[in-house]
């Protein structure tokens, strides 16, 4: 496969166009342009149909595919201006802003800000994000993560119901606006991550089965039919997905892809689809001289996902770690129901700081099985952690953020736990100022039966979790509007203070090499179980220093023993101080050689230390 250009769908080549589509079951395939011109496609090997050097298609022209006379949108369309049931639009992706001097930053330096285009700004589009980029930069963020932008039914959706993986949602601004946003981010020094979904496709506007065997009954997913990656005819599906991943890197200059729920991708081929995506990404990187990253969401503690293809791994550069989040929230007194029931709070949090995975072969009650494997030998930069994200907030029945679940002091502690961890930290939009608006689940499907099925699915999900009350109607426009960020909160003293606290934490992370090391062997967790507290030692191999982080999740003042080999040198941060609206009117003074350190309830302290 040639990664230098897109080999599927409608593509521009100078003054003419080429078209290639996979439709192995078709007897005749035609392009219908502007409901006037009809172009016959020629059958090729392996079920492909092509037409080259087409001169009567111009940019912005609308077109349909006719499969044995049936009119359908292009499954590789890059624009659906009239929605998922309408015609596709010709767009020249070659004419995009070129980042002349931009080079992707090392993954270890990523500080990620996850946002949803529709709810991040009042405008709910790419332009609205562009207007707020300076806020993100001033916060200290280095990488913006966009939740999925693939075209979906209606005007509002989380994005995980996309049915045209190549098309950019029109209500967000379409493909050219996304290209411009990426170029603007790069000009301001921000990397861009895009969330993509390859484990399933949405229900409305999904015409893929009209073209070929895109789905298989061999496997099941929680979201519908499994994508066919290893059954008969899967070669066309695999090329379709690989082409999509490469398009985002090559044609939009996206820096990293976050691959949704890869544990739901079922593939028993000799070369897994993730390996193939990795190989083609590496090839593109060699051709362009730019680095691209693949970051998987995966709830399997299997380091094969983040091992290189040469080691027979699946070639992902990193993965999200839900287990850190679960242990963190249980330490903060989250009720132990659902998947939280498997976590022992402070002890498991300490294990995650050192090992990334919590379950590394232990018995899991929730899974009723022995689960996981050690990630020893992998760099900490391969793991992304968070105290909240779109899933962990939006999959709650009422979409509550940490700001409505925890005290102001605990929110600061959660922020510090993430931003001083040895992993890549991720913030969810608005958490930096303690946003109080919920992030709810919302859709805009037009099929009444489908809408009702979604409503019933949500009810059953929460009933199974023993939650009382009624989930907000996902179809109601008000559910979407309630999920928008309230930027006016930044005028309030508490919210502005929280923002400054986040800025200070990020500045410490960037300043001190001890907080930047990617070697998990330099991390030591000291667990104080009765006190529900932790001390995390962050060493630096090159210096005779470390940073000691104290985390008190209890509601009492605690005295924690200093590790015997360390001498306290300087206090860097105390979340309980008055400047952070904490209970301490004056900073506490700690003697240089005190064997114990005092820490306020629900608070965080960081010290520099010297080795004895």
Is 526 found in the same domain as 498?
Answer: no
Do the domain assignments include residue 93? no
Q: Residues with Cβ < 8 Å from 450, sequence gap 6 or more?
A: 203, 204
Q: Cite the beta strand spans of 252-364 per DSSP E.
A: 256-259, 293-297, 318-320, 362-364
Is 433 found in the same domain as 537?
Answer: no
267 included as an active-site residue: no
Do the domain assignments include residue 75? no
Q: Which tokens belong to 515?
A: 């907080």
Is 549 found in the same domain as 579?
Answer: yes
Do the domain assignments include residue 8? no
- Strand, coil or helix: 112: strand
Catalytic entry in 61, 239, 260, 431 = 260
Is 265 found in the same domain as 391?
Answer: yes
Q: Residues with Cβ < 8 Å from 389, sequence gap 6 or more?
A: 114, 320, 325, 426, 428
Q: Which residues in the chain land under pLDDT 70? A: 96-100, 463-468, 541-542, 586-594, 612
Q: In this predicted model, what pLDDT tens digit does every residue of 403-456 receive, in sequence order?
A: 999 999 999 999 999 999 999 999 999 999 999 999 999 999 999 999 998 898
Do the domain assignments include residue 40? no
* The overall pTM is greater than 0.75: yes
**End position of a domain, from candidates 446, 479, 503:** 503
**End position of a domain, from candidates 470, 503, 536:** 503
Is 284 found in the same domain as 139?
Answer: yes
Overall domain count for the chain: 2
Q: In this predicted model, what pLDDT tens digit does every residue of 469-504 receive, in sequence order?
A: 788 999 999 999 999 999 999 999 999 999 999 999
**End position of a domain, from candidates 439, 469, 503:** 503
Q: What are phi and psi of 383, to 5 degrees?
A: -125, 130
- CATH number, domain with residue 305: 3.20.20.80
Is 527 found in the same domain as 468?
Answer: no
Is 534 found in the same domain as 485?
Answer: no
* Residue span of the structural domain in which 172 resides: 109-503
260 included as an active-site residue: yes
Catalytic entry in 230, 251, 255, 297 = 297
Is 450 found in the same domain as 575?
Answer: no
**pLDDT value for 558:** 96
**pLDDT value for 591:** 46
**pLDDT value for 224:** 78
Cα separation of 50 and 35, whole Å? 20
**pLDDT value for 15:** 87
Do the domain assignments include residue 103? no
**pLDDT value for 461:** 74
């Amino acid at each position: 496969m040639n990664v230098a250009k897109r080999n599927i769908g409608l593509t521009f080549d100078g003054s003419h166009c080429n078209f290639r589509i996979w439709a192995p079951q078709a007897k005749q395939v035609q392009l219908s342009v502007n409901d006037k011109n009809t172009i016959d496609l020629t059958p090729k090997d392996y079920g492909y149909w092509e037409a080259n050097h087409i001169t009567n298609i111009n940019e912005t022209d609308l077109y349909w595919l006719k499969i044995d006379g049936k009119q359908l949108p292009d499954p590789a369309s890059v624009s659906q201006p009239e929605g998922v049931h309408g015609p596709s639009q010709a767009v020249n992706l070659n004419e995009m802003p070129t980042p002349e001097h931009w080079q992707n930053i090392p993954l270890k330096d990523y500080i990620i800000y996850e946002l949803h285009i529709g709810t991040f700004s009042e405008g709910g589009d790419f332009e609205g994000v562009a207007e707020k980029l300076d806020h993100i930069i001033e916060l200290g963020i280095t990488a913006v993560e966009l939740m999925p932008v693939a075209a979906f039914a209606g005007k509002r959706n989380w994005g995980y119901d996309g049915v045209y993986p190549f098309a950019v949602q029109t209500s967000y601004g379409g493909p050219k606006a996304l290209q411009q946003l990426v170029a603007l981010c790069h000009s301001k020094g921000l990397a861009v991550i895009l969330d993509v979904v390859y484990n399933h496709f949405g229900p409305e506007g999904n015409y893929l089965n009209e073209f070929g065997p895109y789905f298989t009954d061999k496997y099941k997913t929680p979201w519908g039919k499994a994508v066919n990656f290893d059954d008969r005819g899967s070669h066309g599906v695999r090329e379709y997905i690989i082409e999509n991943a490469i398009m985002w890197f090559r044609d939009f200059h996206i820096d990293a892809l976050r691959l949704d729920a890869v544990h739901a991708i079922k593939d028993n081929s000799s070369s897994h689809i993730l390996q193939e995506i990795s190989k083609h990404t590496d090839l593109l990187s060699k051709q362009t001289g730019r680095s691209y990253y693949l970051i998987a969401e995966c709830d399997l503690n299997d380091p094969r996902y983040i091992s290189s293809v040469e080691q027979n791994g699946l070639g992902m550069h990193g993965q999200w770690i839900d287990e850190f989040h679960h242990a963190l929230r249980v330490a903060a007194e989250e009720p132990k129901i659902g998947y939280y029931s498997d976590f022992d709070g402070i002890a498991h949090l300490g294990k995650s700081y050192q090992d990334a995975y919590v379950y590394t072969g232990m018995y899991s009650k929730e899974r009723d099985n022995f689960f996981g494997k050690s990630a020893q030998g992998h760099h900490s930069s391969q793991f992304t952690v968070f105290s909240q994200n779109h899933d962990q907030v939006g999959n709650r029945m009422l979409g509550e953020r940490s700001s409505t679940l925890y005290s102001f002091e605990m929110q600061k502690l959660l922020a510090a736990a993430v931003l001083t961890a040895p992993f890549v930290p991720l913030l969810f939009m608005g958490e930096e100022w303690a946003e109080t608006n919920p992030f709810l689940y919302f859709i805009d499907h037009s099929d009444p039966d489908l809408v009702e099925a979604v409503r019933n699915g949500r009810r059953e999900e929460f009933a199974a979790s023993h939650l009382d009350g009624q989930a907000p109607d996902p179809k109601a426009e008000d559910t979407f509007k309630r999920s928008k960020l309230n930027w006016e909160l930044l005028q309030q003293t508490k919210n502005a203070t929280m923002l400054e606290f986040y800025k200070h934490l990020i500045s410490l992370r960037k300043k001190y090499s001890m907080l930047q090391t990617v070697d998990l062997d330099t991390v030591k967790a000291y667990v104080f179980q009765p006190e529900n507290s932790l001390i995390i030692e962050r060493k630096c191999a090159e210096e005779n220093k470390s940073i000691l982080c104290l985390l008190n999740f209890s509601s009492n003042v605690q005295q924690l023993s200093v590790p015997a080999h360390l001498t306290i040198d300087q206090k860097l941060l105390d979340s309980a101080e008055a400047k952070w609206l904490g209970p301490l009117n004056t900073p506490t003074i700690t003697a240089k050689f005190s064997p114990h350190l005092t820490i306020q309830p629900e608070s965080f302290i960081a010290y520099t230390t010297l080795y004895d």
